[in-house]
């Protein structure tokens, strides 16, 4: 039996591969000015990748600092679950999914000091391109379109709740003082930001 025939025989059915390749949704909570991805280890395991490799990629993409603490990953700054999931998806496309058969049955191996991605389903292999470092994003910068967990600290003259995050004052209509909410940033003007309520978490 040729190598190709053996590979074809070992190739799992598409449906089975899709069924077992499920990335857990990001479970996030916030501690002060840090974001904790509490199921980071489970996500890395689902990708069959080393936690340190995934963490290094995410820190580079996010332009921030962070560390792994047990099963968790801790990032400096506040990041929404959706933002983290986008970075994880970018990692999957670059370091997990085979570019030939589009399956996740791959491993990373070193060959002559070159990092290669080898597919155990179809036998394809290719070098992993060395990424250029992205410019660091200041940790106190909000992003339009992102969702953040915020505490409403006061109420403005027009009745909008006001939250603070680093140098920003964030106006959130239909909220009251003491509430903890998730709000989506719609517009940023200087140090003022205008958001919409997404979810009420609790009140104090």
Residue 170, domain CATH = 2.40.50.140
Q: Choose the weakest-confidence range: 17-31, 92-106, 162-176.
A: 17-31
Looking at residue 19, what is its pLDDT? 44
Q: Quick check: 179 pLDDT over 70?
A: yes
Same domain, 77 and 113: yes
Residue 142 lies in a domain: no
- For 59, the domain range is 3-127
Q: Quick check: 132 pLDDT over 70?
A: no
Residue 138 lies in a domain: no
Same domain, 106 and 164: no
When pLDDT is averaged across residues 92-118 and rounded to a whole number, the result is: 89
Q: How far apart are CA 100 and CA 43, in angstroms?
A: 24
CB 104 within 8 A of CB 17: yes
- The pLDDT tens digits of the residues spanning 4-48 come to 444 444 444 443 444 457 899 999 999 988 999 999 999 999 999
Same domain, 14 and 105: yes
Give the number of domains in the chain.
Answer: 2
- Residue 83's domain is classified under what CATH number? 3.30.30.170
Name the CA dihedral angle for 48, 49, 55, 56, rounded to a multiple of 10 degrees: -160
* Mean pLDDT over the full length of the chain: 83
CB 153 within 8 A of CB 172: no
pLDDT band, residue 62 (cuts 50/70/90): confident
Global pTM value: 0.58
Same domain, 161 and 194: yes
Same domain, 98 and 155: no
Count of CB atoms situated within 10 Å of the CB of 71: 14
Q: Quick check: 3 pLDDT over 50?
A: no
Looking at 127, 155, 187, which one is the last position of a domain? 127
When pLDDT is averaged across residues 44-53 and rounded to a whole number, the result is: 93
């Amino acid at each position: 039996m040729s190598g190709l025939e053996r590979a074809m025989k070992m190739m799992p059915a598409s449906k089975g591969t899709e069924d077992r390749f499920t990335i857990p949704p990001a479970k996030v909570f916030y501690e002060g000015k840090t974001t904790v991805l509490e199921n980071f280890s489970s996500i890395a395991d689902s990708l069959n990748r080393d936690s340190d490799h995934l963490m290094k990629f995410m820190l580079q993409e996010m332009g921030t600092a962070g560390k792994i603490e047990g099963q968790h990953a801790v990032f400096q700054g506040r990041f929404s679950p959706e933002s983290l999931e986008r970075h994880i998806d970018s990692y999957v496309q670059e370091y997990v999914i085979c570019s030939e058969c589009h399956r996740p049955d791959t491993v990373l191996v070193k060959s002559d000091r070159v990092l290669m991605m080898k597919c155990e389903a179809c036998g394809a292999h290719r070098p992993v391109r060395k990424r250029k470092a992205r410019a660091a994003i200041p940790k106190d910068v909000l992003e339009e379109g992102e969702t953040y967990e915020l505490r409403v600290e006061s109420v403005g003259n027009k009745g909008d709740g006001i939250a603070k995050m680093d140098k920003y004052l964030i106006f959130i209509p239909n909220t009251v003082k003491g509430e903890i909410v998730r709000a989506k940033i719609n517009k940023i003007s200087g140090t003022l930001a205008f958001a919409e309520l997404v979810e009420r978490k609790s009140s104090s």
